[in-house]
Each structure stands twice: as C-alpha cells, then as structure tokens.
Amino acid sequence: FDQRPEQARSTEAEVAYLLQLAHEIFPQVTLSEDNIFATCSGVRPLPYSDGSKTAAISRGHSIDERSVNGMAVLTLIGGKLTTCRALGEEVADRVLAHLGVTRTASTRERIVPGGEKYPTGDNAVESAIQDLAAASGESPDTCRAVWRLIGTQSVAFFSRRKRPSSEETANVAGTDLPRDFVRDIIDMEWVTTLEDLVERRLLLALHPTLTRETLVSLAELLHSARPNPVSVEEMVERACQRLRMFYARRDL
C-alpha cells in the first residue's frame, strides 16, 4: 500500500480472498458478500526490504538517529500500535541521554486508565457491572456499555453524576450510552469531529445498531458542545460517506 495510511480500505479482491480462505477452512459453511455486514482495514508500517514476500520482513521496530542541521532527529521505523509504550520509553531514554538527564519513572508500573482495581476471576466483570447498576440506579445494559469504553472509571462517572434531567440521562438513539456520558467524552477527550466521536471515542463504526438517527443525535451533542460552522446535517452526511467508504456500511 503506497498511499496515505488513512486512505486504506478493504478492496473487493481482499474480501474475495478472505471469503475463499473461509471456504477452505469451513467448507460446510456457505458465505458470500451478502453475509458481510461491514469491513475495516489498516496499514502496518514495515521497514524497506528487497525481499519479495512481506511475511519475511521484520515486524519489530527500530529508531534511526541522525543529525540534521546540527540537531538530533529520531525516526521510528516499523512497529505497530502495541509498540507505543515501549517506543515512548525508548525515545525518552535516547532524548534524555542527549540532554544528560536520566528518566525517573517507568510506564511499566502505570496502569492503563480504566484498569485500576480491575475485577478478576470467573464472571467478576459482570458481577461488578451488576453492582454498579444497583448502586447507580442505571440499567445493567447502560452500565455495561459505559464499562466497555472506560472500564473501572465507570464507577467514578456514575458517582460524580449530578442526576441531570431525564433528557440528559436518556440514551443516545441506537445505543445504551447516556447522553451526558457522551458529553463527558466530548469535553474530556477534546472531540471536534463526528467521525472521531463515532470511530475512535465510542467505537460505534462496526456496531450493528448504529443508524442515521444515532449519528444525528451524536452530531447534535457535538454541535452544542463545540459550535462550528458545519451544520448537523453536514456532519451526518460526511460521517455516512466515510462509514460507507471505509467500513462498507451500506445501511447508512
């Protein structure tokens, strides 16, 4: 793939290839494109190689360091999403070495937000969600939807809630997410576009209940929190076009 990474999308040939593999592994199952609800794709950066097979290229990452106009420039080559923590520490060490400073903290001991006191054991998460529902007065489905996005931070969200109006506690159409929770996400994570809110913050792009009505509700919340010249209708249409193009959401 030699285009910009954000332009990557599943091609008809790739879909056909995956269907063929599915038929080979499960010959008793008949699948066709009609059975595909949505698709998604991404680009994994690999270092340049003279080899003809991508499978032979290293999946590791490296940092190229060189001087440009007397300034040290560090460039990440290869790697993947799970590289980010290790990369951050490695780059910090290299930069701090140039500055003669030693790093004093490590992300190895830092818990991912939402993972604090995370329940372990059989049915422990579901039990925690049921307890949260009982304590907050919300439905288990609503607590489960919020937990899915922010983990144990759900407890803090429902605890600090000031019992807003019934309109604010109502769920966004087609989801189990309360409107005031979505407002919090918009404010705390500096969301500025509907696409960002749907795809990255709320993880709804592949959700089967996502509808145009859902997008309208989210766009209205975003527009009220981040006033801009783009109308709600324009926001929704842009999001629909992107979801159709990059996720094959023909239902929108």
The structure tokens 């997410």 sit at 177
Residue type for position 135: A
In a domain, 210, yes or no: yes
Measuring CA to CA, how many Å separate 200 from each of 118, 185, 189, 207? 22, 11, 11, 12
Closest residue by Cα to residue 233 from 215, 206, 209, 207: 215
Mean pLDDT value across the chain: 90
Considering the domain boundaries, does residue 172 fall inside one?
yes
> What is the DSSP-derived secondary structure letter of residue 127?
H
Q: Residue 74 domain-assigned?
A: yes
Is residue 137 located within the same domain as residue 218? yes
pLDDT at 163 over 70: no
Structural domain contains residue 117: no
Residues 76 and 165 in one domain: no
Asked if 134 and 243 sit in the same domain, the reply is yes
* 1 has a pLDDT exceeding 70: yes
In this prediction, residue 72 has a pLDDT band, given cuts at 50, 70 and 90, of confident
Query: For residue 103, what pLDDT band results from cuts at 50, 70 and 90?
Result: confident
| Same-domain status, 179 and 76 | no
Q: Which domain holds residue 12?
A: 5-35
Task: Give residue-wise pLDDT tens across range 171-205.
Answer: 999 999 999 999 999 999 999 999 999 999 999 99
Which pLDDT does position 96 carry in this prediction?
Answer: 92
Q: Which of 29-43, 74-88, 93-107, 195-209 has the highest mean pLDDT?
A: 195-209
Question: Both 133 and 233 in a single domain?
Answer: yes
- One domain, residues 159 and 88: no
Which residue stretches of 137-250 are H helix? 140-150, 153-160, 166-169, 179-188, 194-196, 212-225, 232-247
Residue 177 included in any domain: yes
Q: Which long-range contacts (CB under 8 A, 24 or more apart) does 44-51 make?
A: 44/80, 45/5, 45/77, 45/78, 45/79, 45/80, 46/78, 47/77, 47/78
**Number of compact structural domains in the chain:** 3
Ranking 81-90, 101-110, 216-225, 237-246 by mean pLDDT, the lowest is: 81-90
Span 36-49, average pLDDT: 85
Structure tokens at 119: 């329940």
The terminus-to-terminus CA distance of the chain in angstroms comes to 27
Burial of 63 (0-12, 13-18, 19+ CB in 10 A): middle
Model pLDDT, residue 5: 84
Same domain, 151 and 215: yes
Domain boundary, last residue among 77, 109, 141: 109
Shared domain check, 172 and 137? yes
Our CA angle for 113, 239, 218, nearest 5°, is 55
For residue 105, give every residue at least 6 positions away whose Cβ sits within 8 Å of its Cβ, in sequence order, or none: none
Considering the domain architecture, whether residues 230 and 146 belong to the same structural domain is answered as yes
- Whether residue 45 lies inside any domain: the answer is no
Q: Give me the pLDDT at residue 168, please.
A: 66
pLDDT in tens, 206-236: 999 999 999 999 999 999 999 889 999 999 9
Residue 48 lies in a domain: no
82 CB-near residues (< 8 Å, 6+ apart): none
Q: Is residue 23 part of a domain?
A: yes
Residue 171 per-residue DSSP state: B
